Structure 1
Amino acid sequence: MKSSIFNFLGEFSSTLEELALRVEDLLWDQPQEAMMKARLFGETLVSMIFEQENMNEVYPLKQWEKINRLYKHDIIQDEIYKKFEYIRKNGNIAVHQVTDMDLEVAKQAHQVLFDLSVWYTEVYVSHTFIAPEYELPSKQIQDPHIVKKWMDEYQERVAEIEIQLEQLKQEKKQQQISVKEERKINARIGPNRINNSERSVPIERFQATFEKVNLERKNLSKKAAEFKHKEFEEEDTEAYVYLLDNVTPTIAVHPLLIEQAKKLVDVTSKPLKSTALRRFPRKVENNTLKSNYGYTYTFQTKGELESLLFRIVEVLQSRKSGIEEY
């Protein structure tokens, strides 16, 4: 297989790598065909994100519906949304228009595919991934007048995507307002008289307990609060513990601690896959990397949590001192 800046994709998806290489093969002589392959790349990547996030489709969704859903659920942010839309819109044009597609559109798509590939790898494969430097496949640069004409058209398309994104932001904002209003109503009615499906990380209730055993908060998302023991370095992933948004108070622990420490094995735990556990390893199933995973423990009181955290810290410190538990 030829050398390419997209070769890293083959480590977790031969399909994505093959599509990216096909785009490069077609780029200079058949930009319209290259754009069609880029469109297929975008659809494949979005489907992979849906699988990673366990976002089941009750009925088949179109590509624009999937992209919108990812944005509304805060899985992708503005810049990534724009890149997916650039590929989708220009890919549709390539499929349906009769006239040849401008080479500059396909060249821009090549870089967008690279940016999306790097983003996906950093988020879903390895947060320590080091991306190669971007470069186009070698070829003579196009006439500057043609480039200027394309840039004008490109700016128009970007403006359309900006308008579309602004509309989507307003919809998202309106949804958030509706959720806030619903929470206010639920608070007035009381927990015993409603079935409230909204969940949040109980950070205010339990943060002091984490701090008591030298676990400091490093990150907070909708799904989890991330804590790390102060005596360990950032790259020591086993030193992280997550407080989850489960209905029953729950923490998630690094798999290594469970698999090697008796002090934690005798406590009931369950495996959990979630992208919220961003510092934990990724599960491999059928030769495919899935979501990050860890082991969860439930508790009811601050005392129970403190007891769990003390066990975790003891195991961490014994590992740091070179004491293995069997």
Structure 2
Amino acid sequence: MENYFYDFLNQISEEFTRTLRELENAIYNSPRSMLTHSRTFIETLLEKVMIHENMENEPYLTIIERIQDLDESGLLTDEVKNSLHEVRKLGNKAAHDTRQFRFSESLTAWEHIYIIVKWFVEVYGSHDIEVPEYVDPVMRRDHSYDLEEMNFRFQKIEELLKQAVQNEQPKQVSVDSHNLNAKSTNDADSETGGPVEKQEVSLSETMDKAPGLIPIRTISYGNDGVEVPYFLRDTFLLPQRFENSERFLVRLGGVEEARIMSELPERLDGFHNRIVRYNETHSEVFFSELKNFINEEIRRRKLMQNRPGELFLFYKSEEIVVTEELGKIEINKENFTGMPGLIDQLNEDGIKFVRDLPKELVILGKYKGVGTSRVESFFNQLKEKQVSKIEELV
């Protein structure tokens, strides 16, 4: 690793340094992830302090109980106590609330974490450690992790944090009561104007397109056409996404046609002739649904770009945000009623929690005995559980 702001923490805990690096990487890439996992960081730090102070440190203690215990023992300053509560509250909101979280919120938590870490080092670290002045993190555009990779990295980091706490020892009466230098040995890691004006307008509109949205081709039917953006050039045409053309697409796929966007011809007039027993209506309906598919994919892309680091479950033109609390809900017959066959088949495939579900829920219709109405019912129950989680937070 290159030199990092919190490298001075390596003398106390390499796990802390690595965790803080991951949290900083998530500030701009995924504010929700940063806020949620910040709770785990301060909880581990509080555990270390409680172990060192020979205080009761049962695993069932909540963060707020740990803060209260330390405060009652006179171990926290008002500033540190306030910062601990702010990080805790922001983390709780990020774990439950479906709204979009702002960079300003993750930056606020980051400043509070600095106050907490500075206190921890000054009170429990070596006197030789000098904590530098706070510096705002820089938004890096050269590299960012996608949500799955980020969550995987946080999972590994938090495993290391848990191991570090297990190796923690209470302070020795005969030595400096404020020294936690024992390090863990675990490694982490329009259509107006003439031809010239029209061309200029078209060029301007193209240049104004966001990356990935620049049209690369047009697919037509009759006098109508739809532009295919760059990011969809080779996208898979999932038959279940085309409600009235599902069988049509399945049949086309059987003869190696229309499996991906790039396999579609420039014009869809007469496209049905590539398989038997279909007529022009099927080509027309497919074109109509293709337009809807492209528009929906553009909407989803913009949604995910505007809300980086969020995990969504999509169903037709709707979506729900999978918060940490929603993701932990178990998929069983008690939580989701009226569909035992679907639940059994999901569990058999290793899908046991909401977080394990595929992002595109229409594919659940592939399971035996599961139709559109069953999938829609499942999605509606997911929405109800999301609402109930929000109400619990309130």
TM interval, short-chain normalised? 0.3 to 0.5
Larger Rg: 2
TM-score (norm 1): 0.43
TM-score (norm 2): 0.36
RCO (CA 8 Å, sep 6+): is it higher in 1 or 2? 2
